[in-house]
Structure 1
């Protein structure tokens, strides 16, 4: 099971602060993963990738991200360490791979890029070989020819692209268009699996960005199983207070930094919130973070109806906080109900929400982290 990480901030961050310096950085997770569901392959050593966008627009460089991939294990690549010390970016994707489909090659390393879009995946499309022909037949020639590798993940990216009207546009996308394309991609994969008689659950933790907004899913095609782990942290500063130890500082109500990761990067329990299973996370261009329940046949509104969440995080040695950066007991997260996908009975029985400025129903939920 792969591990992924993404960062979006108002200010660029040195890649090393995410990739190499934290004691539980994503590079360390490549050989010391604590929360993976698939224990048969404890090492994420089948390659890695990191992608980033320029801090300032440059017409000569264009809007597409720069991506560096390699088939060598992430912990043993000196070029990655050198680059991480010298590159800063306000939007970063990183991925370490444990192969479930496709050979070990650079073309199969995440993330992938198409125009200004970048995409990565943690999980697998169950029995992908049984639906691969359906996937390919659904694509236009132009998108079909963009696939260079042979992983289920890259073909899922191709399906995602097929749901955008102009996937190679040079202007930023509306985040709602990216969200809708992601939902349609998940729905397509589920429909093809059902037609093929596949009963094994697919694990679809997808992440996509256009360099301005980000859409990420934590999803499994099951009403009873938990999806692969995914955590969320936000604040005003992400800083080191001693070698290898980082914390997210929330000095005021602003959200200047958002980090989403398969496993927490810090040892501070109050820094991280578990993203619920079968949830879509949207980070807007202004760093507003919205969470949408994915309401389909696998939607289960009762967390008790699923297997228990794993209760331990990376290396939980959380030190007492006296800086006021986080309330150690509770955090608040905004959930947005998308009534277009809810059955009418659920709409009628749902609590009355506060209406946002754009008429969007917004629910605020207090989440215990202890």
Structure 2
């Protein structure tokens, strides 16, 4: 499907984050090891926070490994928070508006996975989006629809609750339309201060997702690696698959869970689908 990466920490060059690791996201765009597809060449995008309050976004329909503009601008971007995504389409057109991350105000969102039989469920999903948000939807993907559904359910006030409601809504639709396994997702979202990452699928066999471990501990284990010395002690990565192959460097995010990532801190919590019916009868 797709591969994505989140970085949070001291300001770092995007080039160092995207291109230099041994199994970088750019490398994964051509040779992914843990994804459903080896090649993720249906476009790419990155979002980052800089001088402005609103994050910047750069997207292209070109494969990440062959776009010279990506390399050029990544050498000039230094950021404390980077979202990056390489896309393998599950059916939606290869066009810029379908590339991740998606943006609403200060919020960024990117997704790996799918809403099964989305063409059957799409009308109901779209009708559930708040009318004040609907006009902002630019593309045709289930990923962007899931973002705006989560915004409708309160993403900006309560990200875990909003995503749990979006999951419950899609799974309820699946039951109504006879789609047995309607949702597959790893998601990252942020407003520039905290990052929330989610791993969930109806079947319980979700695409891979990993968080980095403590950088200070890795420095003690691998003192010979200069790249670890360049990162601050608060640096954290969340990735679809590891970008470095160092023993002890990564912890897999468990099934049906979400993590909150802040500088130097990560918290893990269970993720349980929530429906409006459950809320009103609780």
Q: In 1, are the aligned partners of 2:236 and 2:264 still within 8 Å (CA)?
A: yes
1:178 paired to 2:159: yes
- Shift in Å, 1:261: 0.1
> Which among 48, 53, 57 is matched to residue 52 of structure 1?
48
Which stretches of structure 1, 4 residues or more, deviate above 2 A after TM superposition? 234-242, 245-249
Q: What is the distance in 1 between the residues matched to 2:228 and 2:163?
A: 29
Structure 2: 5+ residue stretches without partners: none
RMSD over aligned Cα atoms: 2.7
1:150 paired to 2:129: no
**RCO (CA 8 Å, sep 6+): is it higher in 1 or 2?**
2
Q: What is the distance in 1 between the residues matched to 2:186 and 2:86?
A: 14
Q: 3-state SS of the aligned residue for 1:191?
A: helix
Q: In 2, are the aligned partners of 1:247 and 1:266 still within 8 Å (CA)?
A: no
Task: Name the residue aligned to 1:288.
Answer: 265
* Distance change >3 Å, CA 83–CA 274, structure 1 → 2: same
Greater fraction of residues in helix? 2
Task: Name the residue aligned to 1:273.
Answer: 251
> Which among 166, 179, 191 is matched to residue 210 of structure 1?
191
Task: Name the residue aligned to 2:112.
Answer: 122
Q: In 2, are the aligned partners of 1:234 and 1:257 still within 8 Å (CA)?
A: no
Structure 1: 5+ residue stretches without partners: 168-172, 298-339, 345-370
- Shift in Å, 1:140: 2.0
Report matched runs for 1:226-265 at 5 Å.
Answer: 226-236=205-215, 248=228, 256-265=234-243
**Based on CA coordinates, which of the two structures has the bigger radius of gyration?**
1
* Distance change >3 Å, CA 247–CA 193, structure 1 → 2: farther
1:22 paired to 2:24: no
Per-residue Cα deviation, 1:175-234 (whole angstroms, up to 9, x for no partner): xx1222121111111111111110135211111100111111111111xx4210001103
Query: How many residues are aligned here?
Result: 274
Q: In 2, are the aligned partners of 1:248 and 1:271 still within 8 Å (CA)?
A: no
Q: What is the distance in 1 between the residues matched to 2:79 and 2:261?
A: 16
Per-residue Cα deviation, 1:63-84 (whole angstroms, up to 9, x for no partner): 2110000000000011111111
